[in-house]
Amino acid sequence: MDGYILFQYDGRILDTNQAYCEMVKYRRVEILSKNIFNFETLRSRGDIVSHLHLVMIEGEDRFVSKHLRKDGSEYDVELSIQYRGEDGHFVAFLRDITIKISAEKELLDSKMHLQSVTDSVPAMVAQIDVFERYIFVNKGYLDWCGMPSDQVIGRKIQEVLGIERYTIVQKSICLALNGDKHIQQICFNLEDGNLQYIQVYYMPIFNENKLVIGCYLMGQDITDLKLLENDIVHAKDVAETANRVKSEFLANMSHEIRTPLNGMVATLELLKTTILNPDQDKLAETAITSCHRLAQLLSDILDISRIEAGKMCIQLTSMSLKDIFSQTRDLFSPVAKEKGIDLYFHADPSLPDRILGDDARLQQVLINMVGNALKFTHQGAVSVNAFLLPIKKHNNYLILFSVEDTGIGISDESIQALFNAFFQISEGYTRNHQGAGLGLSICKRLIELMGGSICVVSELGVGSSFWFSLPFGSVDQGLSPNSKDGEISEPFNLSSLSILLVDDDLVSAFAASRLLEKRGVQVCHVENGALALEALRERNFDLVLMDVQMPVMDGVTATHAIRSGEAGEAARELPVVALTAYAMETDIANFMKAGMNDYLSKPVRSENLEAGIKKWLSDDGKKKKLVINSDLKNNVSE
């Protein structure tokens, strides 16, 4: 209840009520004996008189002041004074607003603190009411708007942001004013043509009755982060594109080189079936071996990609070090002879005849190292040795290999980077030795994959010695010591077999047909997948040898059509073996997915071709029977 006093122009109090008595802690009789000047603390007597004179003119006034209680304490009071002209008296209604003033001060202090805090953070903060009017904004928000506070507070968002920007945030504001938290990433077009990315958090504000009374808008400029993210995505796309282009290039290069190599190998194989004297037969065999070594060197390029991708696998087979040394010697003897360099191969007599290891990878290492040694040696000798170390663990052998030369040697500085990919001892236009610089890098990685280690000792002008050790298993650990995995131990009768050969390369097709026909196989050759489907509809075959890259219809599409029954029900489960220059792992996976049973990589030797055919056929002594892959239908992509 408000206090009440009636007083005269001279300030003498004529009447009051109990509420005012309680407010100032005086008894009524004490108040009536006092003057209004006794209670006022902010104004002097003269100021009070002047104020009363103004009230007489205006008729009334309302203001806030401070009054004095009986105990000497001050309190905030709101006064409403009216002038009664009929008797010349003044009526004052008084309300104690100490608590209100204190609360307002705390609110102001809190707001000032909030303003100070939010102004110091690199973010945009604003508060709006349910009518979308700004109640509070920080410096970051004002800087973003480009307006002073007095042009923002009290105005609606649409008026400040403009129609275009408001349309972008309108839905999110509606969600927040309906009580839902929300996050939005916004892209604005700036006047200078640049883009600005802002991430805005919308937080609803609830009162004590859990009703929404507004929301906070907290924005963070994420332009730099977004541009960095876009750069990363772009870089990732570029890298993936480059990797895809590299893979396509490697696959195409492999295909284009392997295809003529296959024709060369098959033609030489046919030559060996004719009457040759021993020297001619040896020359033909050496040429065949050289072709396969060339194909192996081509694989070096593909190997770097596989090793770096962690997709290189070691295949253990029964192998003979003497055979590997002999094949490597045969490959490089002509080169050594031409340069006038002695080439020695020595295997420790204590070495077992056969061991378990990856013969292809070991020979790849030796080919690279011996080739390097011959390339950098102009006089003297190159020696290759293998020693059995007196260490045997878990029935495994540890063999130490060395490749030593009397070549130009390697400097200490170059040795540090010797096993890095693409490293060359000499660089620029004056390089005396050609090469991609992949050989030793591949060697080191292959040796480590096989569980070994490598080191090198060299002196400029004297020569180099490469040493590497490798573990090998005993042949009694799983494979027969008398045969290799995939090797044909005795001839297989192919007579009366009918095979459809699908290949657009006439040289490869001619050679493969002649090789098979010499073994009694009936061969039907067509040049593309579409013709293969027609041939399969017209007659029965025991097996299909399918090239992959062909005009009109490729081998993968043709195989899928066969599995789908487009060549007739009789051909649906016919064994299809890819005979292709594609040898990448992703290619092989696509072959299997299309429904092919197996693949043979070009260039292919006659014994491997025979093994690939035998794998899908069996002989009961009189009648050949198809061995159908039970999972074949599962391989067909619907």
Q: Does pTM surpass 0.85?
A: no
pLDDT of 616: 82
Quick one: what percent of the chain has pLDDT higher than 90? 28
Q: Please list, in sequence order, all residues whose beta carbon lies within 8 angstroms of the beta carbon of residue 347, skipping any fewer than 6 positions away.
A: 321, 322, 325, 385, 386
Residue ranges for the chain with pLDDT beneath 50: 421-437, 477-491, 620-638
Res 324: pLDDT = 92
Please list, residue by residue across 500-530, b when 16 or more beta carbons sit within 10 angstroms of its beta carbon and e when fewer do: bbbbbbeebbbbbbebbeebebebbbbbbbb
Determine the residue type at 379.
Q
Give 523's strand partners: 499
Q: CB burial class (10 A; 0-12, 13-18, 19+) of residue 202?
A: buried
What does the block give as tokens for 301?
């390029």
pLDDT the model gives residue 537? 93
Place of tokens 């892959």: 629
pLDDT of residue 623: 33
pLDDT of 636 reads: 38
At 188 the three-state DSSP class reads strand
Asked if 545 and 579 touch (Cβ cutoff 8 Å), the reply is yes
| Spatial distance between the Cα atoms of 321 and 318, rounded to a whole number of angstroms | 10
